[in-house]
């Protein structure tokens, strides 16, 4: 699905009118174009399925056999996303991703790129974790994947309840991470 920038421009112009502003006013006459370009960038992930993201970032490297007890962890990957309920920015989100390699690993930067691409959709924090875990599973071939996310949401901090210190933590555990409490605890000690 391609993002329709022309439709976005038209609708943003309509929103400006609905807000009671003049869309031809000097300060905002280019706003529809700017917003359309911004949306194409920040919602890039909506152009791809999880399978397509896994394919994009699945270049992997073989590792010696017997390393199936080692854990790969990338901590504090900063991402931004937009809440699907309010189109509000979810910000100050930090993602930690772990997996137990099954004969191969992917480049560490690929893990951050996967987190970024998944976040570039209208999302819920809970789904971001599930989507990242699914993509990592497909890209690495490992069923043992965990994702921990801690984030602030402007739909809670800047409007509504206005609780600026509120943080939301979510976890997604697959495979051994779901089954073995000791493995969960080990990971959570590492990422908190």
Is 5 an annotated catalytic residue?
no
Q: Given the residues 10, 52, 55, 85, select the one marked as catalytic.
A: 85
Is 184 an annotated catalytic residue?
no
Is 52 an annotated catalytic residue?
no
d(CA 137, CA 100) in angstroms, rounded, equals 10
How far is the CA of 51 from the CAs of 58, 59, 135, in angstroms? Answer: 10, 14, 7
Spatial strand order of the sheet with 168-173 comes to 122-123, 72-83, 89-99, 145-153, 168-173
Q: Look up tokens 């992997």; give the residue.
A: 60
Is 83 an annotated catalytic residue?
yes
Q: Given the residues 84, 126, 180, 181, select the one marked as catalytic.
A: 84
Q: Given the residues 5, 11, 33, 86, select the one marked as catalytic.
A: 86
Is 11 an annotated catalytic residue?
no
Is 10 an annotated catalytic residue?
no
How far is the CA of 149 from the CAs of 18, 80, 93, 129, in angstroms? Answer: 36, 12, 7, 7
Rg over alpha carbons for the chain, rounded to the nearest Å, is: 19
Region of 171 on the Ramachandran plot (φ > 0 left; ψ -120 to 50 alpha; else beta): beta
Is 155 an annotated catalytic residue?
yes
Q: Given the residues 11, 44, 83, 178, select the one marked as catalytic.
A: 83
Q: Given the residues 123, 125, 134, 184, select the one marked as catalytic.
A: 125
Q: Given the residues 33, 44, 155, 178, select the one marked as catalytic.
A: 155
Q: Which residues are catalytic?
A: 83-86, 125, 153, 155
């Amino acid at each position: 699905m391609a993002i329709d920038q022309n439709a976005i421009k038209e609708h943003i112009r309509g929103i400006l009118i609905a807000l009671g502003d003049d869309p031809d006013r000097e300060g905002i006459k280019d706003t529809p174009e700017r917003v359309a370009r911004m949306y194409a960038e920040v919602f890039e992930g909506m152009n791809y399925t999880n399978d397509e993201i896994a394919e994009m970032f699945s270049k992997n490297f073989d590792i010696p056999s017997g390393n199936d007890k080692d854990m790969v962890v990338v901590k504090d990957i900063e991402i931004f996303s937009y809440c699907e309920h309010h189109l509000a920015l979810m910000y100050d989100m930090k993602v930690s991703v772990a997996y137990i390699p099954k004969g191969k690993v992917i480049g560490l930067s690929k893990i951050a790129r996967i987190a970024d691409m998944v976040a570039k959709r209208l999302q819920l924090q809970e789904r971001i974790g599930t989507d990242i875990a699914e993509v990592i599973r497909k890209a690495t071939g490992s069923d043992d994947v965990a994702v921990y996310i801690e984030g602030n949401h402007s739909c809670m901090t800047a409007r509504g309840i206005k609780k600026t210190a509120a943080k939301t933590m979510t976890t997604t555990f697959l495979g051994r991470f779901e089954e073995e409490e000791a493995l969960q605890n080990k990971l959570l000690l590492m990422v908190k």
